[in-house]
Amino acid sequence: MQAKPTVPVNCLFQGCYNPEFEAEIRKCKDKCHEYNQLNPNDRESQLRILAGLLGGMGENVIFTPPFWCDYGYNIFVGDYFYSNHNLIINDGVKVSFGDHVFIAPNCCFTTAEHPVDPEQRKAGLEIARPITVGSNVWIGAGTTVLAGVTIGDNSVIGAGSVVSRSIPGNVVAVGVPCRVMREISEEDKYRYPLYNGN
């Protein structure tokens, strides 16, 4: 098997106008297109494609179509991963999710950054930094998680957030830019009434 091209981490590299990377992205887009054309309830075919697309996948993994990524093999998801419609992952380098991660609709995770300098940007230089999401994390609708971010275990990211800096575990964070609002507490167990079926 031919070795896949490796994107360097945290330094400028020739990301655009690079035939080797462009070929990998085209192959990935073909797989994403095939995935997105399936009946959304065809779990067997979905899992077959995901197994050949992702770098690693736990049990009970659901990517609700449509789903798009750049390489696929840089994405690692744990057990009981669920993403709703329109997830985009620009996975130039590793993007990892722990167990029991919920991602609401219209979210984007991007490891790519472009230079501020216009000449470097015009030349197609990029920077790539990994993203790490812990276990038991809930990402609210319309959230964007930027390159280099880590989100700690058990945290909740509010809808519409732009996560440009790392977020610790066990907190609720929201906003543009995303900031910690408070710690998750025992009181959160009683935030909503429990439906008893009567």
Task: Provide the annotated active-site residues.
Answer: 114
Of 41, 46, 70, nearest to 57 (Cα)? 46
CA–CA distance, 128 with 35 (Å, rounded to integer): 26
The neighbouring-strand residues paired with 96 are 76, 132
HSE at residue 135, side-chain half, CA atoms within 13 A, is 6
Of 147, 151, 157, nearest to 134 (Cα)? 151
Alpha helices in the chain (DSSP H): 19-37, 43-53, 118-122
